[in-house]
Structure 1
Amino acid sequence: MDNLNVGRHISGQFNEDLERVINHVMSMGGLVEKQLKDAINAMIEGDEKLAKKVLKGDYQVNDYEVNIDDECTRIIAKRQPAAGDLRLIMAIIKTITDLERIGDEAEKIAKVAQESFSKEQRDLLVSLENLGQSVLVMLQATLDAFTRMDFDAALKVHQTDDKIDREYEGLMRQLMTYMMEDPRSIPQIMSVIWSARALERIGDRCQNICEYIMYFVKGKVVRHTSPEDMENL
């Protein structure tokens, strides 16, 4: 907990409460990261068994969100945290909501992975894999920044979303072109588009979590703040 720059408290139990909930968030983040990684691999490899594993794992992600939210509610009611402690609890509550939604996006990708694609259509998934790997790296960096509550790391990750958006737009142009050249492929390509959209949304969720980190560290809401102003906080 010291790495989070959270002060020690007179109540040892309060420290234990904070440490426990933080550890649970980290465990949830690790599970969500694995869910995304498995969903991408299931899509690229056409692995239906792995896709089913992701779908089954989504229930565990949901359980984490509910349980951590309950823990945070109990801490607020019992400890009445203020200042940095309250910001930390609020950042956690918001973070687990976005982590749960990232899990939902991974579930969408896993469902598409269960569909059938021709060899030519599967070749297009290479571009989707590139986007997926970029988003996975962004998620990993986001979780690392959260673990350390590192403002500079969060800012750096936040700025990488522009790269994700460019990759997404390039992939969309490629898929649209393919559908115009072969209208029969539209149903399958639309599924790939849904997956690409899910990945792009995960990038947005990572940005949100980075903003919560900045809020905890600086005590300022940066949701509508320009990149230049963020650097000057």
Structure 2
Amino acid sequence: MVSSEHTSKQFDTDLEAVRTRVLRMGGFVEEQIERAIEALISGNENLIDDIVADDHRVNAMEVSIDEVCSQIIARRQPAAGDLRMIMTVIKTITDLERIGDEAEKIARMAKLIYKVDRMHVPRFFEIRHVASIAMEMLHTSLDAFARLDLTAAARVVRQDEQVDEEFRSIMRQLITFMMEDPRKISTALEILFVAKAIERIGDHAKNMAEYVIYMVKGKDVRHVTVEEIEREVRE
């Protein structure tokens, strides 16, 4: 009996250690996005190079956590809520790794934008605004994961619609800009790629929020409406 209790406590310790590592990875990915947006605004080439170089750290975190999850499944054979938690971790770190890729993409686009002496393209204000929403979504998703907060998770899903609308607005503005001055097409396209990367960050944050709902409620809420998700959370 004592041995069984010890094993259970050790399992809880293993699960908590995995959760902590996911949050640590999430914190680093948040920093990558913040630095990427700063690099885009400032044109700081050293910062851009650091962001690109640090992407391997995000990849290594994903691989390491994934290996730990595989070991837990093999050793513990988790069921029900514990298994959903492990599955949520595996899916979450995949999205975090992809968010890291988008941060690197923003940095690479920033390098192209500042590669030659170009006139300022007035799209950075809108970029900064939509990036702040996407970063808030990511932070809230990680917090929802840490606290098992379904209300926060549902709020992230709702915010994704706002990010999508902001992206469409930026795209319309950039198309107009390119039509008015064809000489700036290259720069406008690079900024459009940045905006798309931010929109994808929002998508990944939304995915992470949906995983939290799955972990807690045991129901897959992907591909359903925001209203259905909010009803599920209230029940």
TM-score range with shorter-chain normalisation? Answer: over 0.9
* Residue 37 of structure 1 pairs with residue 34 of structure 2: yes
How far apart are residue 9 of structure 1 and its match?
7.7
User: Equivalent pairs: percent with the same residue?
Assistant: 48
Match of 2:191, SS state, is helix
Aligned pairs for 1:5-44 (under 5 A) are 11-44=8-41
Q: Deviations over 1:152-200 (max 9, x none)?
A: 1101111111111111111111111110011011111111011100000
Contact 1:44–1:126 under 8 Å retained in 2: no
Give the aligned partner of residue 208 of structure 2.
209
Q: Deviations over 1:122-177 (max 9, x none)?
A: x3222211111121111111111111121111011111111111111111111111
Amino acid of the structure 1 residue aligned with 2:45 = E
User: Gaps spanning 5+ residues in structure 1: where?
Assistant: 1-7
Contact 2:137–2:206 under 8 Å retained in 1: no
Give the aligned partner of residue 118 of structure 2.
118
Match of 1:220, SS state, is coil
Amino acid of the structure 1 residue aligned with 2:145 = F
The whole-number CA distance in structure 2 between the counterparts of 1:191 and 1:215 is 36
Contact 1:158–1:207 under 8 Å retained in 2: yes
How far apart are residue 231 of structure 1 and its match?
2.1
How far apart are residue 230 of structure 1 and its match?
1.5
User: Gaps spanning 5+ residues in structure 2: where?
Assistant: none
Between 65-74 and 182-191, the greater mean CA deviation after superposition: 182-191
Normalised by the length of structure 1, the TM-score is: 0.93
How far apart are residue 10 of structure 1 and its match?
5.0
The whole-number CA distance in structure 2 between the counterparts of 1:58 and 1:134 is 22
Q: Deviations over 1:198-221 (max 9, x none)?
A: 000111101100110000010000
Match of 1:67, SS state, is helix
Give the aligned partner of residue 90 of structure 1.
87
Aligned pairs for 1:47-126 (under 5 A) are 47-115=44-112, 116=114, 118-121=118-121, 123-126=122-125
The whole-number CA distance in structure 1 between the counterparts of 2:229 and 2:125 is 35
Contact 2:127–2:195 under 8 Å retained in 1: yes
The whole-number CA distance in structure 2 between the counterparts of 1:37 and 1:10 is 41
Give the aligned partner of residue 140 of structure 1.
139
